[in-house]
Amino acid sequence: MDKDTIAWGNTCLDAISRTDLLLIDEIGPLELIQGRGLTRALPALENAGYRLAIVTMRPSLMESLKNRLGRLKPSIIVLDKENRDTIPTKLFHTIISHKDKSL
């Protein structure tokens, strides 16, 4: 992991005040358990300055992140072999349905 890249990513996350779509790939053990990595991703999600956020994560961390962001009532989409071909269309429709939502 490149320290300069992580620092740049955290600076970008701190700069977000309002955005239509916040996309974070991925919140993992570094962020949730160790307090390292893209540490500003969690505050960016908690501040809710977006219409829609899409976050990738490992299934083993889902409950931990859901508990942390519970007040935001996140929707969970689990990607697996059975649904992986339909997920892009589902995400597209989710994004479109949020385009007129107020911040």
End-to-end CA distance of the chain: give it in Å, rounded. 34
The confidence band for 83, taking pLDDT boundaries of 50, 70 and 90, is: very high
Please report the pLDDT score of residue 48 as a whole number.
Answer: 80
CB count within 10 Å of CB 78 equals 9
Residue 16 pLDDT greater than 80, yes or no: yes
For the ranges 3-7, 15-19, 64-68, 74-78, the one whose mean pLDDT is highest? 3-7
> For residues 36 and 9, what is the distance between their CA atoms, to the nearest angstrom?
12
pTM (predicted TM-score): 0.81
pLDDT of residue 73: 79
Q: Note if the bond before 31 is cis, omega within 30 degrees.
A: no
Q: How far apart are CA 71 and CA 33, in angstroms?
A: 20
Name the maximum alpha-carbon separation found in the chain: 38
